[in-house]
Structure 1
Amino acid sequence: MAEAFLEAGMTAEEIVALCRQYTIYEWSAQGMVDPIPVVRAKGVYFWDARGRRYLDFNSQLMNVNIGHGDERVIRAIQEQAARLPYVNPFMATEPRARLGRMLAEIAPGDLKKVFFTLGGADANENAIKIARLYTGRHKIIARYRSYHGATAGAITLTGDPRRWPAEPGIPGVIHVMDPYRYRCRWCMREERCTLDCLNHVEDVIQFEGPHTIAAVFIETVTGTNGIIIPPDGYLEGLRMLCDRYGILLICDEVMSGFGRTGEWFAVNHWKVVPDLMTVAKGLTSGYLPLGAVLISERIAEFFRDRPFPGGLTYNSHPLCLAAAIATLQVYQEDRLIENARRMGEILARELARLKERHPSVGDVRSIGLFGVVELVKNRETREPLVPFNAQPREMGIMNRLKEFFLQNGLYTFIRWNTFFTNPPLCIREEELMEGLEIIDRGLEITDDAVA
């Protein structure tokens, strides 16, 4: 057995076989899992064990924002590991001091305090606890087309079908409709944005009792449920509603934060400051696990003389904080926020052209380098190419599209009738066009199915 741990590099087949034999893959029927055996990555590309190169058009899970294999972040992790790999979270360290200050400097408004977690889900868990304790209320309003994580509270906040197996979940969570312009029943009837989705939220607040509601908890820009970008006026209106009824506004920026939308945080597009904001993913660009709750000074003051209701063994882990410090420096040194904005303009233009060319494209949406293509059977009826919550046996045409992408060296995230365009923020125009050219050819498959 000891010799087995010292074996040389495995073949692609061995890697896949042993991973399937001994590990569980998330959100998947294990008998249908067919993973890519990845061995290395650099910049906007990664390679499998067979030597095939893939353009990473989803930044893995929308998190490798600075690109793969950045030596500055790797070196920071190595140096911290040599100096101080771990102390318990009751200690003070230089990485904790530096990163706390850096986040306070770039966060909007008065979000000047930070509670560090291991990722987005437990950041959201702690945001729930903070909101309930601070307000003395227990209900949380979230949205149906949302995903906030797979832990107990976060999955209850989640509106999409990943919530169902975990139900009944934690008590007190109520779901409302989203500002989904393409499929909004109010807007489709009026053929214009009515912002009736805001009136709907206020109705729910009234029906549930404002005095019972601790927070409205949203993804600023919805992520895996289709890059739903709020119309102008929505986020501002939500802020006013929360202020009117003494309810906290919590923005989940786990995906949309750290330059993904062309601003440090998506809320900056609308100049709205939430009471709490959760972040992760782009904080370290996936080099190490780290999340955080950014807390307003007003709420942080509440805990001056009261115990803070959270704790994690790896809260403020020095290695993770060192990775985050180096990552934030890369954003600034390489002007990646500006590049996301500039490349985002090209992405939006080219996605619009794809929509003109391909009858299977019902809608395209993007903000910065956060984009999606939504495929339909019929543009008039807007019937999805595969059903909402499509099961594996219903994903045939989308699986064919996925296989075409992979065979042509493009990796991206496909979910139901959508696929995503979320490359690393360091992508250059020629690399962006390389991916879009593969997409252009692949859409002939879905066009044929529609025809």
Structure 2
Amino acid sequence: MKADDRAHVFHSWSAQAVIDPLAVAGAEGSWFWDYDGNRYLDFSSQLVNTNVGHQHPKVVAAIQEQAGKLCTFAPAFAIDVRSEAARLIAGRTPGDLDKIFFTNGGAEAVENAVRMARLHTGRPKVLSAYRSYHGATAAAINLTGDPRRWPSDTASAGVVHFWGPHLYRSSFHATTEAEECERALAHLEQLIAFEGPQTVAAIVLETIVGTAGVLVPPPGYLAGVREICDRHGIVFVLDEVMAGFGRTGEWFAADHWDVVPDLMTFAKGVNSGYVPLGGVAISGRIAETFAHRPYPGGLTYSGHPLACASAVATINAMEEEGVVENARRIGETVLGPGLRALADRHACIGDVRGTGVFWALELVRDRETREPLVPYNAAGEANRPMADLAAACKRRGLWPFVNMNRLHVVPPCTVTEEEAKEGLRILDEALSEAVPQ
């Protein structure tokens, strides 16, 4: 199996000749294991998407049952499980985001949200933040604000980037959250003024920035962006692909601030990735644009029955088993206090931030200067300290999520208190070994 992988599988985001993918034999709950019997506590939730853990029996059973009933059907038809998935999602999105356009994943959701915004407004430009990730398809990768954009950035996609709030590494010389919020909003206002408000179709933001650092916005920031959008007739798009469906201790991260966007993208946690699924939740105002005007977009597998069945089972299981509440409790009582205690013991931890089961440790060489442990976008020997840390975690049976100079702590929303504490214990040991002070 491993030989066939290396001979024929072309892996994403990788130099093919130098990777050595782990051969996985199975998984259950918060754990997976290889063919040698080595078990790993999954503190990455794979790609921060297995919110209900691996092989949840209710979701597996729903896929099996749906496969025996109706495996696939074109999007133009009304299918019971598709309608039910849309109803359940709309019942949990904020405000009047009651129409659901299904996609196969998060990048396609972002692509279609941008298309809807441009058609609704008749404007060409879209604004997004540095320190963001929105997907790897054409528009989504241009919206992205991290180095994965660089090889594909055409500089002609109608995208303008701005600085979002990040107090620990403030672009605005702020010293408090209130200052960071005020100055970040002023920066956005000025950028819109210089770009021409009448040319801007949408502002696209991750509600809580995910891969680029688990950046929780300061109080008032999202409400301020909402007000700016309303004043200039700009569509406000929140990307909840990673933050949605329980990850932050609420159904959607937007619920923390009672902010309602015009469009909201989702994927990942909607069914924990058991079958590819994503979508756009659409407000009444945007939906009305296409009431008598055809929407020029679609996908062969939009609302695929197997994917929708897994979404229905996932949402129902999360409700029945208190999964969102568990994520909130684990964050408040175990991960938050535990990670801050790690920071007290390890001088290399410059910042701890997060909520629910969505956390990041920012690792530094010096707390006073805040110099990152490895340079921005480091590779090879320059990235050795982070590679050593990841290896130290894996040797102890924990699979980490490492990005640049950060260690993200993102276990499934179903993680138990015992598992979360075991993960923190391993992180403590790995930090002591790999980043000695």
Q: TM-score range by the shorter chain?
A: over 0.9
What does residue 246 of structure 1 align with? Answer: 233
Partners of 1:244 and 1:44 lie apart in 2 by 45
1:387 is displaced (CA, Å) by 0.5
Query: Which residue in 1 is equivalent to 2:160?
Result: 174
1:425 paired with 2:408, answer no
Q: CA deviation at 1:430?
A: 0.8
Given that residues 402 and 408 in structure 2 are in contact (C-alpha distance below 8 angstroms), is that contact kept between their aligned partners in structure 1? yes
Aligned-partner SS, 1:32: coil
Within the candidate set 208, 213, 227, 2:214 is matched to 227
Provide the rounded CA distance (Å) in 1 between the counterparts of 2:81 and 2:178: 49
1:398 to 386, 389, 392: 386
2:127 paired residue among 114, 117, 141: 141
User: Is the 2:348–2:365 Cα contact (8 Å) retained in structure 1?
Assistant: yes
Q: RMSD across aligned C-alpha pairs, in angstroms? A: 1.2
Q: TM-score, normalised by structure 2?
A: 0.98
- Counterpart Cα distance in 2 of 1:73 and 1:33: 32
Structure 1 runs of 4+ off > 3 angstroms? 187-194
1:46–1:53 CA contact under 8 A, matched in 2:
yes
**CA distance in structure 2 between the partners assigned to 1:117 and 1:390 by the alignment:** 33
Q: CA deviation at 1:49?
A: 1.2
Distance 2:186 2:3 in 1: 53
Question: Cα deviation per residue 1:330-351 (whole Å; 9 max; x = unaligned)?
Answer: 1101100100110011211111
- 2:111 corresponds in structure 1 to 125
Please state if 1:324 is matched with 2:342. Answer: no
Asked if the contact 1:152–1:169 (Cα under 8 Å) also holds between the matched residues in 2, the reply is: no
Which of residues 332, 343, 351 in structure 2 aligns to 1:363?
Answer: 351
Unaligned runs of 5+ in 1: 1-14
Aligned match of 1:277: 264
CA shift, 1:192, in A, is 6.4
Task: Say whether residues 1:374 and 2:357 are aligned partners.
Answer: no
- 1:211-257 CA-to-partner distances (Å, cap 9, x unmatched) read 00001001000111110110001011111111111111100000000
Q: Report the secondary structure of 1:426's partner residue.
A: coil
SS at match of 2:186: helix
- Please tell me whether residue 409 in structure 1 is matched to residue 397 in structure 2: yes
Say whether the 8 Å CA contact 2:62–2:309 is kept in structure 1.
yes
Determine the C-alpha separation between the residues in 2 that align with 1:291 and 1:100. Answer: 11
CA distance in 1, matches of 2:180, 2:240: 25
Match of 1:434 among 398, 422, 432: 422
Q: Which string of whole-angstrom CA distances, capped at 9 and with x for unpartnered residues, describes residues 10-60 of structure 1?
A: xxxxx3332122111111111221211111100110011111000001111
> Equivalent residue of 2:17, what SS?
helix
Show the 5 A alignment for 1:348-359: 348-359=336-347
Write out aligned runs for 1:183-262 (5 A). 183-188=169-174, 193-195=179-181, 196-262=183-249
Distance 1:392 1:95 in 2: 47
**Residue 290 of structure 1 is aligned with which of 277, 288, 312?**
277
- The answer to whether the 8 A contact 1:254-1:278 is kept is yes
SS in 2 for 1:106: coil
Q: CA deviation at 1:392?
A: 2.5
Partner of 1:108: 94
Distance between the aligned counterparts of 1:53 and 1:74, measured in 2? 22
Relative distance call for 1:205 and 1:65 in structure 2 (3 A) is: same
- Residue 34 of structure 1 is matched in structure 2 by 20
For residue 47 of structure 1, what is the amino acid of its counterpart?
W
Between the aligned partners of 1:190 and 1:304, the Cα distance in structure 2 is 46
For 2:69 and 2:35, the matched residues in 1 are separated by 34
Once residues 447 and 251 of structure 1 are traced to their aligned partners in structure 2, the CA distance between those partners, rounded to angstroms, is 36
Q: Contact between 1:142 and 1:157, CA under 8 Å: does it hold in 2? A: yes
Paired positions, count? 435
How high is the sequence identity, in percent, across the aligned residues?
Answer: 51
The equivalent residue for 1:162 is 148
Match of 2:56 among 70, 74, 86: 70
Q: Deviations over 1:382-417 (max 9, x none)?
A: 000000111123111111111111110000111111
Aligned-pair distance for 1:316?
1.1
Task: Quote how far apart the aligned CAs of 1:190 are.
Answer: 6.8
SS in 1 for 2:91: helix
Length-normalised TM-score, structure 1: 0.95
Corresponding residue SS for 1:399 = helix
Contact kept, 8 Å, 1:155 with 1:169, in 2: the verdict is: no
Does residue 153 of the first structure (1) align with residue 139 of the second (2)? Answer: yes
Amino acid at match of 2:240: E
- For the residues of structure 1 that align with 2:263 and 2:221, how far apart are their CA atoms? 18
SS in 1 for 2:179: coil
Once the two structures are TM-superposed, the CA of residue 191 in structure 1 deviates from its matched residue by 8.7
CA shift digits 1:76-116 (9 cap, x unpaired): 11111111101111111001111111111111000000000
CA displacement, residues 289-341 of structure 1 (integer Å, 9 cap, x when unaligned): 00000000111111110001211010111111001000001110110010011
Distance 1:238 1:340 in 2: 27
**Residue 122 to residue 169, structure 1, CA distance change in 2 (3 Å):** farther
Is 1:309 aligned to 2:296, yes or no?
A: yes
TM-superposed deviation, 1:447: 3.8
1:17 maps to 2:10: no
Is the aligned partner of 1:99 residue 2:85?
yes
Deviates more, 1:62-71 or 1:16-25: 16-25
Q: Does 1:83 align with 2:92?
A: no
- Extract unaligned runs of 5+ from structure 2: none
